[in-house]
A = this chain, B = another copy of it.
Amino acid sequence: MQRRPTPITVNPRRARADHSHETAQDYVEMIAEMIRKTGEARVIDLARRLKVTHVTVSRTIQRLQRAGLVTALPYRSIFLTEAGRKLAEESRRRHEIVVEFLTSLGVPAAAAHADAEGLEHHVSKETLAAFVKHLAKTNRPK
């Protein structure tokens, strides 16, 4: 009697900027990084990193649970599901490509990292491919 997870695309009507997708990606990416670096992901740490209160994080985690991206028990740390890990990995790759690309254009590191946070959610397959191609071109000729 498992309930199927609520798809994170709640409003199929809305074609534009599904912002909750972006939030989901930011969260799973950050959770994955925390687990990798410190062994666990806690609400309080996410809150500090995101500069929001723990309440906001707590509520978002509930939503991500419904979406089947994370698992969490009360007062315990947060884990990624298989789907969550997959999304985190995709997001990370995308993020890194964007940062590298911007850096290769001569954008200062601080700006490159800051911009990547926003840009990574709006880069299509085609544009990402163009970034990769450009990187290959500028890196190859040593």
Listed in ascending order, the chain A residues whose CB lies under 8 Å from chain B are 14-17, 19, 22, 50-52, 102, 105-108, 111-112, 114-115, 117-119, 121-127, 130-131, 133-134
Q: Given A15-B51, A19-B19 in contact, is the A102-B130 Cβ separation under 8 Å?
A: yes
User: Number of copies of this chain in the oligomer?
Assistant: 2
Measured in the bound complex, the distance between the Cα atoms of B110 and A127 in whole Å is: 11
| Interface of chain A, main secondary structure | helix
CB distance from A57 to the nearest CB of B (A): 13
Measured in the bound complex, the distance between the Cα atoms of B123 and A115 in whole Å is: 6
A134 cross-chain contacts in B, Cβ below 8 A: 105
Q: Can you spell out 7 A-B residue pairs with CB atoms less than 8 angstroms apart? A: A19-B19, A105-B134, A107-B126, A111-B124, A115-B122, A115-B123, A119-B123
Residue on B nearest A111 in the bound complex, by CB: B126
Question: What 9 A-B pairs are tightest by C-beta distance, nearest first?
Answer: A118-B122, A111-B126, A105-B130, A107-B130, A111-B124, A119-B122, A115-B127, A107-B127, A115-B124
